[in-house]
Chains A and B, each alone.
Chain A
């Protein structure tokens, strides 16, 4: 299987470097389909295990340099579906610009192919430096895609996108190096020789065995946060996103929303939650508030948009807020729901961006006010859009419901769970308020749909016949529609493959949260009963010293 994974990873790279000038799009499509087929094989044969599936480890810098950076790739439950999502959306992205991209088409498809390798690589990298290389590498093709083929503001959008992301990710880089160096400083477990390792699984295990002190964890968490939060984007750091989404060519928007935002959430899950559990537990309310702010703010701003593409872009802010809410609630259900929601958001929002691109090709406008009554003129496109809108607002039976339901269930469980958290009031408020995101989501989406497809358009008397979806466009959206139903009707198939990895990944963070809840709850109860008892200082401040008590305790989940 390792060969399959490597082929899927490098095929687009090779194609990107030597795509022919003529017929570039056909070759690009073939490569994207081949990668999708290889991914299907990988998914089909996927076997849950601790060692990582389809793993291959190759020397890169070599041990002789002292920096034993390796080319280390493998799939696990967290990365499997994001990897598959990337392969799937790539087919959509290639098809969606099939006719509109005429100018420098070969370069366009080359960049798309390079971007595919970068995105696939982020999810399979099991070496810290390799992860960062792919993480940053995705910036270059997308920078050019936005800057060359984008809308009127494309130059500003491309630069802003690059600089925002780069500025955050350099701090993430320091955070990653800090983890590696901290691990190097620890006395080796069993072995006398200290070894500098960049391997993500090894670091995860090591940090689990000997967690950092809380202060250091929070510092490293903040450094990692800088890059990932901008990428997601979390609420106050989202300002690059609407501009980049709106100005990017359709394929760029599809991939940006569909895959690249998930790189941020993936990073949070892989590094922050898995490697810095005590900091995650300590910062949990703050992070949840931020995520909630994104949910509500994104939805409200989306409500006010008159440009469909901007509306979908702000809906991404809101939906990604949900993903972060689920992840930071560190609860089995919420995290599974969060990862499933990442995939769902990629499908529905990627599909919506593709639809917006198709509308723009026909009417050369994205203003809601200029459109109207399209359901009669474009029945097939209207149907597909309806499906995607419903998937986005989580209609039961479609994919959005499976993810969002699990996610919110987990968030509520966090607020009402046992032992009762000492900050239960906050958590419950957050859980209740997060429901408003669902309602607002349905509001702006359906309202947009109603205005664009049903309402009669009085302003422009444009009744020219337009052609409905072509075969190419239907093929383009078919994979998304299939997945929307598949995930919606059989979420177990997807959850079963991700659950074991995720449960293992968040176990320390969950324990830390429950530990805090227990200690905090006990302390406040004691305080309530006997006013003269002084709360022991270490109970709330230092997770490391008090670590022994809760590690032996069997953790329970109220599920």
Chain B
């Protein structure tokens, strides 16, 4: 690795430097507004740097996808897409939390008074807050460019560790403490699981002998080891560990239990961040590892991911029906949406992609974008409606908002309807792509199934599995409509009870407006985003599909033989033990 190749991550470096500077200077100079601006400016600076690294950059080309270059970084279309997405989401999140700590318009006579049971002057954590926020964004960007297991893990932790701080910063009561602690322990546990999986990956790469000049931690080496096809059961175990560890970030069932409690116990901006950034990072990591580095495991991976996807959406959608707390509701909504995202991933793993945008990965990135926009928009509206002292918690507080605050209610309703998937909003196109991709996978899978029949009685019948998945998916969408509509109905069909004082600040309002506008704009003209997402999906798919053609035959045969030999070994071991 040369110093030159660090140029790939210049935007991330800029963000980390800015975050550190804000941390340090924030200790000496307290200002809510200034630090929010500083965070915004550093995001803009990172965007400028990213923009200036055009595709013509020599170093970048060296790290581009085709060669799977030497360094720990990759700068392919997926990385680009992920970086821009991260910066965009970072901007919206910063905007949405800009007034988190009071500031701006103060009520006359209101001092830094004690809040709730917490005594003492209120702690102004703006600099810490925005610094941590910038670090999580940098972490997300780093995940997208990482081509090395160690770097990938560090990047994921760069998201997790600032999140612990954020969870403590937002609120100052027992509930918040509980949620922060809960998140901390479960997150550390999931990191441990993931790390355990990574250690296997490294071990396998070392065992198989890394290809010339590569470290065994690099994904290239992992890929080479996987392709050698000598790993058997261990590879399956690794796959399960990696998927389990990352499922926590994605908030997929059965690793979702923290989400409702943590969201409920924290602030709206934090909940927005938690429902978007770790999810995006987890999905990118899953694609980088499972799709790109373990293509020979696709036959084992897709049933696993598909099962998790169906379980996730079904459980979460049903659970969400009973929620009255808005953040719990949105937590279950974000879990359920993870199910659709994983369905797209399962399609990508099963290799069912003939039509450009129905390629599972393109679908995944498109859906992730639309989901993120609508979710951030919803949380930003809720943040705007509350005040630093009083958050909007229960659904009843939204009653009649369509009459008292039509614009705010309109923004929230648009986000909800987009999450429902009603045309002509962005969410509809996401659903179109996901379910189209699932059906496409089932239609195109006949070749694979026929091959499987020849080799042996492979239990996975792609055809039916993906049709079932699509049907379960759309029925879930209908169930989800019930609780999204409850919110909309609350906004418009009830008479206003208590008047909400929207004091969440203009930042949150601007973020909400931007999200709602984006949801409508993408809904009316989804073409550009579909193109960008298919570019991002195509490169990784290209790497994979060349491999798949070679590996499918071997995978079906070798997978079966290795399973059976493991079984023999196991049974003979048991026999000798007796």
**A interface residues (Cβ-Cβ under 8 A, vs B):** 60-62, 64-67, 104, 107, 129, 132-133, 136-137, 139-140, 143-144, 147-148, 154-155, 158-159, 162-163, 166-167, 170-171, 173-174, 177-178, 181-182, 184-185, 196
Q: With A158-B489, A159-B489, A163-B482 in contact, is A67–B474 under 8 Å at CB?
A: no
Q: Give, as a whole number of angstroms, the nearest-CB distance from B75 to chain A.
A: 23
Q: Give, as a whole number of angstroms, the nearest-CB distance from B432 to chain A.
A: 7
**Which residue on A lies nearest to B480, using beta carbons?**
A166
In the bound assembly, the distance between CA atoms of A159 and B487 in angstroms comes to: 11
User: Which of A65, A148, A158, A173 sits near B531, CB closer than 8 Å?
Assistant: A65
Tell me the dominant secondary structure on chain A's binding face.
helix
Q: Are A174 and B474 in contact (CB under 8 A)?
A: yes
Q: Across the interface, which residues of B come within 8 angstroms of A137, CB to CB?
A: 422-424
Stretch at the interface among B113-121, B250-258, B434-442: B434-442
B48 within 8 A of A: no
Q: Across the interface, which residues of B come within 8 angstroms of A171, CB to CB?
A: 471, 474-475
Q: Are B530 and A167 in contact (CB under 8 A)?
A: no
User: Which of B356, B428, B481 sits near A66, CB closer than 8 Å?
Assistant: B356
- Contacts beyond the supplied A67-B530, A166-B481, A181-B439: 14 A-B pairs with Cβ under 8 Å: A60-B525, A64-B531, A66-B358, A136-B423, A136-B428, A140-B422, A147-B492, A154-B493, A163-B485, A170-B477, A171-B471, A181-B436, A181-B440, A185-B443
In the bound assembly, the distance between CA atoms of A163 and B483 in angstroms comes to: 10
User: Which of B422, B470, B482 sits near A139, CB closer than 8 Å?
Assistant: B422
User: Which of B356, B402, B475, B481 sits near A162, CB closer than 8 Å?
Assistant: B481
Q: Are A65 and B356 in contact (CB under 8 A)?
A: yes
**Which residue on B lies nearest to A219, using beta carbons?**
B467
Q: Give, as a whole number of angstroms, the nearest-CB distance from A187 to chain B.
A: 14
**Which residue on A lies nearest to B406, using beta carbons?**
A107
B206 within 8 A of A: no
Q: Are B357 and A104 in contact (CB under 8 A)?
A: no
Q: With A129-B432, A133-B423, A196-B355 in contact, is A65–B527 under 8 Å at CB?
A: yes
- Report the 7 A-B pairs with minimum CB-CB distance, sorted nearest first: A66-B356, A167-B478, A170-B474, A133-B423, A147-B493, A65-B530, A155-B493
User: Which of B355, B403, B488, B489 sits near A67, CB closer than 8 Å?
Assistant: B355
B64 within 8 A of A: no
Q: With A137-B423, A159-B489, A173-B435 in contact, is A167–B475 under 8 Å at CB?
A: yes
Q: Across the interface, which residues of B come within 8 angstroms of A62, CB to CB?
A: 527, 531
Q: Across the interface, which residues of B come within 8 angstroms of A136, CB to CB?
A: 422-423, 428
Q: Are A65 and B478 in contact (CB under 8 A)?
A: no
User: Which of A132, A170, A177 sits near B475, CB closer than 8 Å?
Assistant: A170
Q: Are A174 and B470 in contact (CB under 8 A)?
A: yes
Q: With A61-B526, A140-B417, A158-B493 in contact, is A170–B478 under 8 Å at CB?
A: yes
Q: Give, as a whole number of angstroms, the nearest-CB distance from B126 to chain A.
A: 39
In the bound assembly, the distance between CA atoms of A497 and B112 in angstroms comes to: 77
Q: Across the interface, which residues of B come within 8 angstroms of A158, CB to CB?
A: 489, 493
Q: With A148-B493, A170-B478 in contact, is A65–B534 under 8 Å at CB?
A: yes
Q: Are A144 and B492 in contact (CB under 8 A)?
A: yes
Q: Give, as a whole number of angstroms, the nearest-CB distance from A65 to chain B.
A: 4
Q: Give, as a whole number of angstroms, the nearest-CB distance from B356 to chain A.
A: 3
Chain B 394-429: CB-based contact to A (< 8 A → 1; otherwise 0):
000000001100100000000001001011100010
Q: Across the interface, which residues of B come within 8 angstroms of A181, CB to CB?
A: 436, 439-440, 443
**Which residue on A lies nearest to B442, using beta carbons?**
A181
Q: Across the interface, which residues of A come within 8 angstroms of B432, CB to CB?
A: 129, 173, 177
Q: With A133-B424, A133-B428, A181-B443 in contact, is A60–B527 under 8 Å at CB?
A: yes
Q: Are B489 and A147 in contact (CB under 8 A)?
A: yes
Chain B 326-352: CB-based contact to A (< 8 A → 1; otherwise 0):
000000000000000000000000000
In the bound assembly, the distance between CA atoms of A412 and B417 in angstroms comes to: 46
CB-CB contacts below 8 Å: B425-466 with A: 428, 432, 435-436, 439-440, 443
Q: Across the interface, which residues of A come within 8 angstroms of B486, CB to CB?
A: 159
Q: Give, as a whole number of angstroms, the nearest-CB distance from A223 to chain B.
A: 8
In the bound assembly, the distance between CA atoms of A129 and B486 in angstroms comes to: 27
Q: Across the interface, which residues of B come within 8 angstroms of A178, CB to CB?
A: 439
Q: Across the interface, which residues of B come within 8 angstroms of A66, CB to CB?
A: 355-358, 534
Q: With A133-B424, A140-B422, A148-B493 in contact, is A67–B478 under 8 Å at CB?
A: no
User: Which of B423, B493, B531 sits near A132, CB closer than 8 Å?
Assistant: B423
CB-CB contacts below 8 Å: B345-376 with A: 354-358
Q: Across the interface, which residues of A come within 8 angstroms of B423, CB to CB?
A: 132-133, 136-137
Q: Across the interface, which residues of B come within 8 angstroms of A104, CB to CB?
A: 403
Q: Give, as a whole number of angstroms, the nearest-CB distance from A139 to chain B.
A: 7
CB-CB contacts below 8 Å: B20-59 with A: none
In the bound assembly, the distance between CA atoms of A140 and B484 in angstroms comes to: 13
Q: Across the interface, which residues of B come within 8 angstroms of A173, CB to CB?
A: 432, 435, 474
Q: Across the interface, which residues of A come within 8 angstroms of B406, CB to CB?
A: 107
In the bound assembly, the distance between CA atoms of A465 and B54 in angstroms comes to: 81
Q: Name 14 A/B residue pairs within 8 A (Cβ), A-sorted.
A: A60-B525, A65-B527, A66-B356, A67-B436, A137-B423, A140-B417, A158-B493, A159-B486, A162-B481, A170-B475, A174-B435, A174-B470, A177-B436, A181-B439
Q: Across the interface, which residues of A come within 8 angstroms of B474, CB to CB?
A: 170-171, 173-174
In the bound assembly, the distance between CA atoms of A155 and B357 in angstroms comes to: 39
**Which residue on B lies nearest to A60, using beta carbons?**
B527
In the bound assembly, the distance between CA atoms of A67 and B529 in angstroms comes to: 13
Q: Are B489 and A174 in contact (CB under 8 A)?
A: no
**Which residue on B lies nearest to A154, using beta carbons?**
B493
**Which residue on B lies nearest to A134, using beta carbons?**
B423
Q: Are A159 and B534 in contact (CB under 8 A)?
A: no
Residue among A65, A171, A184 with the highest chain B CB neighbour number at 10 A: A65
Q: Across the interface, which residues of B come within 8 angstroms of A132, CB to CB?
A: 423
Q: Give, as a whole number of angstroms, the nearest-CB distance from A370 to chain B.
A: 28
**Which residue on B lies nearest to A182, using beta carbons?**
B443
Chain B 239-271: CB-based contact to A (< 8 A → 1; otherwise 0):
000000000000000000000000000000000
User: Which of B420, B428, B489 sits near A155, CB closer than 8 Å?
Assistant: B489
Q: Are A67 and B357 in contact (CB under 8 A)?
A: yes
Q: Across the interface, which residues of A come within 8 angstroms of B435, CB to CB?
A: 173-174, 177
Q: Across the interface, which residues of B come within 8 angstroms of A140, CB to CB?
A: 417, 422
Residue among A67, A140, A148 with the highest chain B CB neighbour number at 10 A: A67
User: Which of B357, B424, B488 sits near A65, CB closer than 8 Å?
Assistant: B357
Q: With A136-B423, A137-B424, A174-B470 in contact, is A148–B443 under 8 Å at CB?
A: no
In the bound assembly, the distance between CA atoms of A299 and B142 in angstroms comes to: 67
User: Which of A61, A64, A162, A182 sits near B485, CB closer than 8 Å?
Assistant: A162
Q: With A66-B534, A67-B355, A133-B428 in contact, is A163–B478 under 8 Å at CB?
A: yes
**Which residue on A lies nearest to B444, using beta carbons?**
A185
Chain B 83-99: CB-based contact to A (< 8 A → 1; otherwise 0):
00000000000000000
Q: Give, as a whole number of angstroms, the nearest-CB distance from B419 to chain A.
A: 13
Q: Across the interface, which residues of A come within 8 angstroms of B402, CB to CB?
A: 148
Q: Across the interface, which residues of A come within 8 angstroms of B355, CB to CB?
A: 66-67, 184, 196
**Which residue on B lies nearest to A167, using beta carbons?**
B478
**Which residue on B lies nearest to A104, using beta carbons?**
B403
Q: Give, as a whole number of angstroms, the nearest-CB distance from B474 to chain A.
A: 4
In the bound assembly, the distance between CA atoms of A67 and B193 in angstroms comes to: 40
In the bound assembly, the distance between CA atoms of A132 and B423 in angstroms comes to: 8
**Which residue on A lies nearest to B354, using beta carbons?**
A184
In the bound assembly, the distance between CA atoms of A173 and B431 in angstroms comes to: 10
Residue among B423, B439, B488, B525 with the highest chain A CB neighbour number at 10 A: B423
In the bound assembly, the distance between CA atoms of A158 and B402 in angstroms comes to: 16
Q: Give, as a whole number of angstroms, the nearest-CB distance from A218 to chain B.
A: 14
In the bound assembly, the distance between CA atoms of A147 and B358 in angstroms comes to: 37
Q: Across the interface, which residues of A come within 8 angstroms of B422, CB to CB?
A: 136-137, 139-140, 166
In the bound assembly, the distance between CA atoms of A65 and B435 in angstroms comes to: 17
In the bound assembly, the distance between CA atoms of A67 and B470 in angstroms comes to: 19
Q: Across the interface, which residues of B come within 8 angstroms of A163, CB to CB?
A: 478, 481-482, 485
Q: Across the interface, which residues of A come within 8 angstroms of B478, CB to CB?
A: 163, 166-167, 170
Q: Are B527 and A174 in contact (CB under 8 A)?
A: no
Q: Give, as a whole number of angstroms, the nearest-CB distance from A68 to chain B.
A: 10
In the bound assembly, the distance between CA atoms of A137 and B435 in angstroms comes to: 19
